[in-house]
């Protein structure tokens, strides 16, 4: 409760935690009993910060609208500002006389530099809280005291650590300050696409904000968690939680997910393995942040420096075909089109399309990382580069470069009915499922009756599989020799 209106206010600075529930910094702010200034700063001005991609901007717009409504129902308002965070905080403090500032931590190097500097310059008390992850990434250490490079011992370590705390209660009121701080209007930030307006598919698929996240969680727990271990690799019907963009923007906390998973497992379940498998995926996210914290330039530099000598190809036409979903490999094209249309791609298909770019086309993984960063609604500063380095073979605990996904076998195994391919590559919808993996193997008559003319209605493969595989392996061997002879 707000004690008196003459209390100096406290500033709650939202960042990757756009939620009211289980928000440690916000909880603290409420407990102080002070009037609260609820502030979001769009900052691409402080040194080193990476601008979010177009799909994330779409998400952020709607997420802030949703947060703003939730805050209004609790008696306060969200103040939106654009600029370098240090300047904005100083301005808001100057206008309001706030003597406390709180936020939930973030883990990129540039973000932490900004936060450290604000903490030391703030005229009053500035406190940070843990609200993005289950465990502080820098505290998980190997027996020798260093960071982990391999996932399995990282997971085991966390399983022996104290369990993640239970979620905090949702505040019922957010006392407001008497200061009428001027904020900006989200519509002036230009986050929504106009011409072309590519966001139609995103609008159909997603409901950004805390309420949308809660609906996804409920649906996953009641319908999917029990069969997650068996079905998670099948991209056809939705089998995974699709909570990643909500997690990315902090509309739901990992603690809420962790404990919801334990509760659903206890209430419903015989299949303990399925729920644990899902929690292991949450820990992959933790592992990515652990890597980001230890190796800050995860999106820019090969984790395995031996790959610095690897000869990536320059292939603008191949890169364009990959981005547009016109490689002639149906599972790859379906994935890339799912990404473009909905801002999201199934994990198995992220691996297939990623492998195709770095191995079949031998294009530098950083090109893929950048495209995903721009196109994914869940584009994450840790999981995106860590996963790209994993798939490229350049990362910590990576799939070795010589493991080259065979797109035909992958689609036979995981999209056997062809439902996924047919949904996103409609020009192949009349082709019998047995030819969807490799339409070029279909007899001429089958192609004709299905209305498929390779090279006209659907592309012929832009590179032949066996040739591409040999080329990638030969280049790897050549770069190994260079490294070994040095
Ligand atoms: C090349 C590539 C790029 C990727 N880029 C991103 C990204 O930018 N943002 C992102 O959140 N995930 C990324 N992933 C990981 C994974 O594909 C997505 O987290 C997952 O598809 C999200 O779907 P979901 O929410 O239904 O996941 P679920 O299967 O329901 O899993 C629950 C949560 O666990 C986390 N998770 C699951 N798998 C992984 C994983 N392999 N690595 C890290 N966290 C994981 C996610 O937060 C996810 O929401 C990438 C994977 C690859 C191969």
345 CA closest ligand 1 atom index: 21
Q: What is the mean pLDDT of residues 183-203?
A: 95
The pLDDT value recorded for residue 267 is 82
Confidence check: pLDDT of 280 > 60: yes
376 CA closest ligand 1 atom index: 8
The pLDDT value recorded for residue 482 is 64
The pLDDT value recorded for residue 81 is 98
282 CA closest ligand 1 atom index: 34
Confidence check: pLDDT of 3 > 60: no
238 CA closest ligand 1 atom index: 26
Band (109; pLDDT cuts 50, 70, 90):
very high
Question: How far, in Å, is the centroid of ligand 1 from the Cα of 153?
Answer: 20
**Closest CA to ligand 1's atom 1:** 388
Largest CA-CA distance found in the chain, in angstroms, rounded: 82
> Hey, which residues are catalytic here?
281, 284, 312, 347, 365, 388
| β-pair type (78-82, 100-104) | unpaired
Q: Does the CB atom of residue 221 touch ligand 1 within 6 A?
A: no
Question: How far, in Å, is the centroid of ligand 1 from the Cα of 384?
Answer: 8
Phi, psi of 248 (to 5 degrees): -55, -40
Confidence check: pLDDT of 5 > 70: no
pLDDT digits (tens, 9 = 90+) for 240-279: 999 999 999 999 999 999 999 999 898 866 677 899 999 9
Confidence check: pLDDT of 195 > 60: yes
Q: Does the CB atom of residue 380 touch ligand 1 within 6 A?
A: yes
Q: Does the CB atom of residue 247 touch ligand 1 within 6 A?
A: yes
**Distance from C-alpha of 384 to C-alpha of 173, rounded to nearest angstrom:** 36
- The top-level CATH class assigned to 10-131 is alpha beta
Of 347, 365, 384, 391, the one to substitute when testing ligand 1's pocket (max ligand atoms within 8 A of C-beta) is: 347
The pLDDT value recorded for residue 478 is 86
**Closest CA to ligand 1's atom 44:** 285
The pLDDT value recorded for residue 158 is 97
Q: Does the CB atom of residue 378 touch ligand 1 within 6 A?
A: yes
241 CA closest ligand 1 atom index: 30
User: Which pair of tokens denotes residue 370?
Assistant: 């950048």
Of 16, 231, 244, 322, the one to substitute when testing ligand 1's pocket (max ligand atoms within 8 A of C-beta) is: 244
pLDDT digits (tens, 9 = 90+) for 432-474: 999 999 999 999 999 999 999 999 999 999 999 999 999 999 9
The pLDDT value recorded for residue 397 is 82
User: Which pair of tokens denotes residue 428?
Assistant: 């192949």
Closest CA to 356 of 456, 479, 463, 438: 463
Question: Do the beta carbons of residue 323 and residue 339 sit within 8 Å?
Answer: no
Confidence check: pLDDT of 187 > 80: yes
pLDDT digits (tens, 9 = 90+) for 308-353: 999 999 999 999 999 999 999 999 999 999 999 999 999 999 999 9
**Distance from C-alpha of 133 to C-alpha of 457, rounded to nearest angstrom:** 46
The pLDDT value recorded for residue 484 is 64
Q: What is the mean pLDDT of residues 90-117?
A: 97
The pLDDT value recorded for residue 272 is 78
228 CA closest ligand 1 atom index: 29
With tokens 């939680």, the residue in question is 241
The pLDDT value recorded for residue 1 is 38
Q: What is the mean pLDDT of residues 233-240?
A: 95
With tokens 């990434």, the residue in question is 137
Of 250, 348, 383, 394, the one to substitute when testing ligand 1's pocket (max ligand atoms within 8 A of C-beta) is: 383
Of 225, 346, 378, the one to substitute when testing ligand 1's pocket (max ligand atoms within 8 A of C-beta) is: 378
Give residue limits of the domains in the chain.
10-131, 133-164+209-294, 305-479
| Lowest mean pLDDT across 75-89, 354-368, 398-412 | 398-412
Question: How far, in Å, is the centroid of ligand 1 from the Cα of 435?
Answer: 30
Tell me the three state secondary structure of residue 457.
coil
Band (483; pLDDT cuts 50, 70, 90):
low
pTM of the entire structure? 0.97
Q: What percent of the chain has pLDDT over 90?
A: 90
- The top-level CATH class assigned to 305-479 is mainly alpha
The b-or-e profile of 248-274 (16+ CB within 10 A means b, else e) is bbbbbbbbbbbbbbeebbeeeeebeeb
Q: What is the mean pLDDT of residues 396-400?
A: 81
Q: What is the mean pLDDT of residues 397-412?
A: 91
Of residues 179 and 254, the one with the higher pLDDT is: 254
**Closest CA to ligand 1's atom 34:** 282
Overall fold of domain 133-164+209-294: 1.25.40
Give the helix/strand (H/E) hosting 103: strand 100-104
């Amino acid at each position: 409760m707000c004690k008196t209106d003459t209390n100096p206010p406290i500033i709650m600075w939202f960042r990757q935690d756009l939620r009211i529930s289980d928000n440690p910094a916000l909880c603290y702010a409420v407990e102080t009993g002070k009037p609260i200034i609820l502030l979001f700063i769009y900052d691409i001005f402080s040194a080193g910060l990476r601008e979010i991609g177009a799909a994330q901007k779409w998400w952020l717009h709607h997420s802030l609208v949703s947060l703003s409504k939730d805050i209004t129902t609790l008696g306060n308002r969200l103040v939106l500002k654009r600029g370098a965070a240090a300047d904005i905080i100083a301005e808001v403090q100057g206008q309001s006389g706030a003597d406390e500032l709180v936020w939930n931590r973030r883990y990129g190097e540039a973000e932490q530099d900004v936060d450290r500097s604000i903490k030391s310059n703030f005229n009053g008390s500035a406190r940070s809280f843990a609200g993005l992850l289950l465990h502080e990434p820098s505290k998980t250490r190997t027996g020798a005291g260093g960071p982990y490079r391999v996932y399995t011992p990282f997971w085991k370590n966390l399983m022996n650590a104290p369990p993640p705390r239970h979620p905090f209660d949702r505040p019922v009121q957010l006392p407001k300050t008497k200061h009428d701080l001027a904020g900006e209007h989200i519509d002036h930030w230009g986050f929504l696409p106009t011409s072309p307006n590519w966001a139609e598919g995103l609008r159909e698929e997603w409901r950004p904000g805390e309420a949308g996240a809660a609906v996804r969680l409920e649906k996953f727990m009641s319908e999917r968690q029990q069969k997650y271990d068996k079905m998670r690799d099948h991209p056809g019907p939705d089998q995974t939680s699709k909570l990643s963009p909500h997690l990315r923007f902090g509309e739901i906390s990992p603690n809420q997910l962790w404990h919801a998973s334990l509760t659903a497992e206890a209430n419903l379940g015989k299949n303990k393995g399925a729920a644990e498998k899902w929690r292991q995926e949450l820990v992959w996210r933790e592992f990515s942040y652990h890597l980001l914290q230890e190796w800050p330039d995860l999106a820019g530099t090969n984790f395995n420096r031996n790959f610095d000598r690897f000869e990536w190809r320059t292939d603008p036409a191949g890169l364009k075909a990959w981005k547009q979903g016109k490689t002639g490999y149906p599972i790859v094209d379906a994935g890339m089109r799912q990404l473009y249309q909905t801002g999201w791609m199934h994990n198995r298909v992220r691996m297939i399309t990623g492998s195709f770019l770095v191995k079949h086309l031998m294009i530098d993984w950083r090109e893929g990382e950048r495209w995903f960063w721009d196109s994914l609604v869940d584009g994450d500063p840790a999981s995106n580069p860590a996963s790209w380095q994993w798939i490229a073979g350049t990362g910590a605990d990576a799939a070795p470069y010589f493991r080259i996904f065979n797109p035909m076998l992958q689609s036979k195994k995981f999209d056997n009915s062809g439902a996924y391919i047919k949904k996103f590559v409609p020009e192949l919808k009349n082709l019998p499922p047995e030819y969807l993996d490799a339409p070029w193997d279909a007899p001429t008559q089958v192609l004709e009756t299905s209305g498929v003319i390779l090279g006209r209605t659907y592309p012929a493969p832009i590179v032949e599989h066996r040739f591409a595989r040999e080329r990638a392996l030969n280049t790897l061997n050549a770069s190994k020799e260079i490294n070994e002879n040095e």
